[in-house]
Amino acid sequence: MKAREVQELREGSPQELVVKLNDLKAELFNLRFQLATGQLENPMRIKEVKKSIAQIKTIIREEELKAFRQ
């Protein structure tokens, strides 16, 4: 995910983050399934999706901490 995309996620609503997170988790499941069946064309996509999931989880956690401190 590019820096611009991460910034857009930070500006979005928490509901959008959860939806995006669920989409990425579903994509990761499908990629792992393709890997197991030998149909995966781009193995690096798994790494990219896992990184995007971590970035979104980090943003969600930052928002939780920000709300907690207020």
Domains of the chain (ranges plus CATH)? 3-69 (1.10.287.310)
| C-alpha radius of gyration, the chain, whole number | 14
- State yes or no: pLDDT of 70 exceeds 90: no
Per-residue pLDDT reduced to its tens digit, 28-63: 999 999 999 999 999 999 999 999 999 999 999 999
Q: Do the beta carbons of residue 51 and residue 31 sit within 8 Å?
A: no
Q: For residues 32, 47, 20 and 2, what is the CA-based torsion angle, rounded to 10 degrees?
A: -160
Per-residue pLDDT reduced to its tens digit, 14-28: 999 999 999 999 999
Output the pTM of the full model.
Answer: 0.91
Q: Do the beta carbons of residue 68 and residue 40 sit within 8 Å?
A: no
- State yes or no: pLDDT of 12 exceeds 90: no
Residue type at 67 in one-letter notation: A
